[in-house]
Structure 1
């Protein structure tokens, strides 16, 4: 991959209460996958720039180094996109708005194949939309759906049960002698902009496994990147969790245990951007 000339412009999708996004594209003679575009999704209520500007960095890297057009936009009610009123759930509204963006890019630019990227809730939206729309040829999900396994439980609890310092810390917390620092305090990010995986709100594991089976049967390419958290403990946890799905080489899993959920570490962020860029380039070029 080599550097390409990049052009960016603001794009409004929809006539009333439009969705606001940034189209980033290479020059025509440098486009490596003319019919394919990557759409980058919001994480929680974070503006389309992404946590630590991750979406901007990745969106531009895909254009400059892989020659692939990207579009990062705000869901309604987030960032620069005004809130829309309606009766749809947030999950269904996200699917509809992603499809609205795809329809717009297809009519305007002729794109008929899409790769969806998302972190946390953005990953969940990418998964759900892939189930609903066959124009999606691949998804890139950071901290997407995964559940604990017997091995992850063992790896999580064994060191804690054998650690005297952890038992002391537990007793001090129970006695009210030690304050528990929450994620927002540690990160320095305001609480409303701090999204962490909420495992209690996940759909049933069986439901997700069935959905992954359908996507696998369709041949969807899937890249899962799991970052450092208390629930994803080892590299093969995703495959163990969904062992009923016969994944082939359409699945790639990367585990970065030293990275925070929002990729605040420059070296980790750079490594993840590089890995995603290379993976997307290979998939788009093969179409």
Structure 2
């Protein structure tokens, strides 16, 4: 146990010493919504081990306060603000404990948003991996979204039947049997203004942050280049990699799609390390001591 009050619980996974590609760098895996640090369909566990074995990188996956094994903390911060503070606490702790001073942040949906916000305010972050991160509709995505619906006779029939009360519309919770509070899907209405995200991405790009965005098949992201079209004012160059898996679900429940995404993340991280290797370890200022509970890699 590290810390006395309301510790955060995390799991550290380290590569074999002879396969460690970056002793100064760690990948931090963040929760998505209220899902435990194992991740949806064990995605975080699979990714952590793949990054360790395939890319030679240490990983730390932990539960935000109030999620999984981490007790809730009281305070005046919003959930978004608290997430950034806790990620920074984890970075401080890993620096003190294992001397990591460079970090790659990974997250799915709300975890992606936390990765983005933390990168904005902490220069120790050299890369972010965001699955279904911030993106907005473009004129092309709107056409691709609405045209098939407008031109589909069966959809018009279903629309009329629902209006007449002859067919009941079922929500995802009713179809899947999963409680609705565990659903987390992209929601443009809950996003910050596009101009704000554009400004943030420009700052990160000018800083040289490496960004990997992975988008799945959903109602909002419709084609490969939508992210770049959405944020045209930002000239990303080599800092940006975008992957689109149109046939994958938001939680990557398909084994083959999950395997492909995990391997592409590991390959991207390995390439990032090759291009950002430092000849010597540079010391970094550490903040206040973290309240964390960390253990070595375990089955969960």
Please say if 1:269 is aligned against 2:239. no
State the match for 2:103 in structure 1.
114
| TM-score using structure 1 length | 0.94
**For 1:16, which of 5, 23, 27 is the aligned residue?**
5
* Alignment-derived partner of residue 212 in structure 1: 201
Secondary structure at the aligned position of 1:253 is classed as strand
Provide the secondary structure at the position in 2 that maps to 1:230.
coil
Contact persistence 1:146–1:241 (CA under 8 A): yes
Residue 260 of structure 1 corresponds to which residue in structure 2?
249
Per the alignment, in what secondary structure is the counterpart of residue 115 of structure 1? strand
Partner residue in 2 for 1:226 = 215
Q: Could you state the TM-score of these two structures normalised by the residue count of structure 2? A: 0.90
Number of matched residues? 276
1:64 alignment partner, one of 31, 53, 65: 53
Moved over 4 A (4+): none
Equivalent-residue separation in structure 2 for 1:238 and 1:154 (angstroms): 16
Higher relative contact order (CA 8 A, sep 6+): 2
Instruction: Name the structure 2 match of 1:166.
Output: 155
1:241 and 2:241 equivalent? Answer: no
Q: Which moved more, 1:163-172 or 1:143-152?
A: 163-172
Structure 1: gaps of 5 or more residues: 1-11
**Equivalent residue for 1:74?**
63
Distance across 2 between alignment mates of 1:13 and 1:191: 35
> Are 2:182 and 1:193 equivalent residues in the alignment?
yes
2:282 corresponding residue in structure 1: none
Report the 3-state secondary structure (helix = DSSP H, G, I; strand = E; otherwise coil) of the residue aligned with 1:148: coil
Following TM superposition, by how much is the alpha carbon of 1:187 offset from its aligned partner in structure 2, in angstroms? 3.7
Q: Show the counterpart of 2:17.
A: 28
Does the 8 Å CA contact 1:13/1:101 hold for their aligned counterparts? no
Unaligned runs of 5+ in 2: 277-300
- Which is further off, 159-168 or 186-195? 186-195
Q: Any idea what SS the aligned residue of 2:4 has? A: coil
Task: State which drifts further: 39-48 or 188-197.
Answer: 188-197
Q: CA RMSD in A?
A: 1.1
